[in-house]
Amino acid sequence: MKLYEEIIFLQSYFEGKWCVENVISFYDPLIKPFVYRQHYYWANFVIDGKEKANRMHNAGNEALQELKGFDLSKYDGIDKTKILRNCVEPEAGLFILKSAFKSKQNTLSEIVPLAINKNEDDGLPPTSKEVGIRPTIL
């Protein structure tokens, strides 16, 4: 239960950005997580990645060190393969960090009041100029 204790504690008391990671389990999680790159992530921001990745867990230590950006050649007496397999991939970490600090999305309750045509009572929706939306040409 320590995983869920941590998530509930963060949800209840922590006011900053937070993210908790765990591998996908064989049972359904008690608290719904985001799923990204074959891992569960619980966070107080949206993690909207659908990407699946080859984590190269069958590769040798040299390939894993290059993928993860670590050099463990100086260390002895440790399970280097286990350490490297437990590391979050750099691309996944960067994606989650960017997700945490990207600009806030508008909620429906913030947008709906803009969709009311206040100038006229003709039943037509407001124009983009009245709502304050500028069209963009791609």
Domain ranges of the chain: 55-88
Task: Compare 31 and 55 and report the one with higher pLDDT.
Answer: 31
The mean of the pLDDT values for the chain is 80
pLDDT at 67: 84
Reported pTM: 0.63
pLDDT at 7: 95
pLDDT at 37: 81
The answer on pLDDT for 24 being more than 70 is yes
Cα angle 100, 33, 36; round to 5: 65
Note whether 11 and 44 are within 8 A (CB).
Answer: yes
On the 0-12 / 13-18 / 19+ scale of CB atoms within 10 A, 13 is exposed
The continuous run of DSSP H or E covering 63 comes out as helix 61-68
Distance CA 106, CA 138 (A): 22
Give the length of the chain: 138
